[in-house]
Amino acid sequence: MIARRIWRSHRFLRPFFVHPPTLMKWGGGSRSWFSNEAMATDSNSGLIDVPLAQTGEGIAECELLKWFVKEGDSVEEFQPLCEVQSDKATIEITSRFKGKVALISHSPGDIIKVGETLVRLAVEDSQDSLLTTDSSEIVTLGGSKQGTENLLGALSTPAVRNLAKDLGIDINVITGTGKDGRVLKEDVLRFSDQKGFVTDSVSSEHAVIGGDSVSTKASSNFEDKTVPLRGFSRAMVKTMTMATSVPHFHFVEEINCDSLVELKQFFKENNTDSTIKHTFLPTLIKSLSMALTKYPFVNSCFNAESLEIILKGSHNIGVAMATEHGLVVPNIKNVQSLSLLEITKELSRLQHLAANNKLNPEDVTGGTITLSNIGAIGGKFGSPLLNLPEVAIIALGRIEKVPKFSKEGTVYPASIMMVNIAADHRVLDGATVARFCCQWKEYVEKPELLMLQMR
């Protein structure tokens, strides 16, 4: 009985255990995610820290792209809070709780580690505790009041916090002149002047030389600029660095695309759906899948630790896409089971998502071989690096008319495309890649053979 009373009297002193945050998906195919665990720094006051949860296997950090809310906003359950980008995809983080945004911990462009607090929410708990944002006070269960600065630190925007950090100032010692004691940019600069901190003068538009004001706008164009790598660009650094440790060999071949050009023209002339744009790529992808059926080792991955080759059952063919956000390689799943029209639609969907930085994690994972269509931009020839753990990648040059000689010695025009296959020499030998390429070439040059064996 005594023990029970002691336990009840100390129930609010029990330690708060934080479980590693994980990510839950909701909305049936939606790209919105929420943390299934929240880290509450003060459960009695109704303040809950929302951490960056694990957004995918092997993801340790994300870049914060933008906020959908600001401090003081009310939020509903499942309402988007912010958008983050890992090295694989862009994801919306949503709220599990209904409440108000008490504190935003990061600014767009920040790199956030998994588990770090994204935002602090004020929610009403089961004991009806109340966070009063207008008076900047928290009413606790004991009836006493605490200033929010004791729990949250100084009230300010992320931009002001960053300014104070850059100047080496502890923002919590600054007296704010804004509403509810909020620290403003002017407060930070005033404090800096009073304490003798040196501010950055590079941003000033004019410099004084010999007593005369001289404009520095023209010369600023020649100054060095440091550009941090973010998102997909950071991922490219990692993957390409890993690829350089793998022994590559390259196989180059010409493919006559006269029949491919005629097939594309036929599709365009008989197209009844204005939303579909026919290109060369879907036929190249489907013919590649047909060749992979006969050469399964090209559609594999290599486990260096166990010295095992995993032959992939599905043909998940990736297509490298250059976007303003960086290089990304989404893949078309199960090409071996898709028609040309289905491949065309899926390729269009992935291109649209990539251009808008909205690819799902599922779109960029699980690839088994990659095509890099440099010819769409310009260039006859490319020498690609492997997209590990895949064992082959193919660079496609542009299709151009060139003169060719027939067996009889006559000259005729031909639509020629150069292809360069880079292969992992630990898994594939030159003869295998050569035979595979010849098979693929035959399907492209003679589409009737492709149609004959398609399922």
| Helix, strand, coil percentages, rounded to 5, for the chain | 30, 30, 40
- Looking at residues 356-362, what average pLDDT do you find? 87
The pLDDT score that the predictor gives to residue 138 is: 33
Enclosing H/E stretch for 420: strand 411-424
pLDDT digits (tens, 9 = 90+) for 21-34: 444 444 444 445 55
Per the CB < 8 A criterion, the answer to whether 243 and 392 are in contact is: no
Dist CA 83 CA 89 (whole Å): 11
- Looking at residues 349-356, what average pLDDT do you find? 92
**250 a catalytic residue:** no
The residue ranges of DSSP E strands in 52-198, in sequence order, are: 61-67, 74-75, 80-85, 90-94, 99-104, 111-113, 117-122, 130-132, 137-139, 145-147
Q: Pick the more confident residue, 163 or 9.
A: 163
From the candidates 166, 193, 273, 429, give the one annotated as an active-site residue: 429
pLDDT digits (tens, 9 = 90+) for 377-414: 888 888 999 999 999 999 999 999 999 999 899 999 99
Q: What does each C-alpha distance from 396 to 56, 297, 336, 378 come to in angstroms?
A: 31, 21, 21, 10
**187 a catalytic residue:** no
DSSP assignments along 5-34, one per residue: HHHHHTGGGSPPP-PPP-EEE-SSS-SEEE
Enter the CATH code of domain 239-452. Answer: 3.30.559.10
Percent of the chain with pLDDT over 70: 76
Q: Pick the more confident residue, 332 or 147.
A: 332
pTM of the model: 0.62
The pLDDT score that the predictor gives to residue 454 is: 78
Q: Is the pLDDT of residue 432 over 90?
A: yes
The pLDDT score that the predictor gives to residue 176 is: 82
Q: Residue 214's pLDDT band (boundaries 50, 70, 90)?
A: very low
The pLDDT score that the predictor gives to residue 265 is: 92
The pLDDT score that the predictor gives to residue 341 is: 92
From the candidates 248, 250, 258, 425, give the one annotated as an active-site residue: 425
| Domain layout of the chain by residue ranges | 47-122, 239-452
Enter the CATH code of domain 47-122. Answer: 2.40.50.100
Which of 71-75, 118-122, 173-177 comes out lowest in average pLDDT?
173-177
- Looking at residues 273-288, what average pLDDT do you find? 92
Per the CB < 8 A criterion, the answer to whether 296 and 276 are in contact is: no
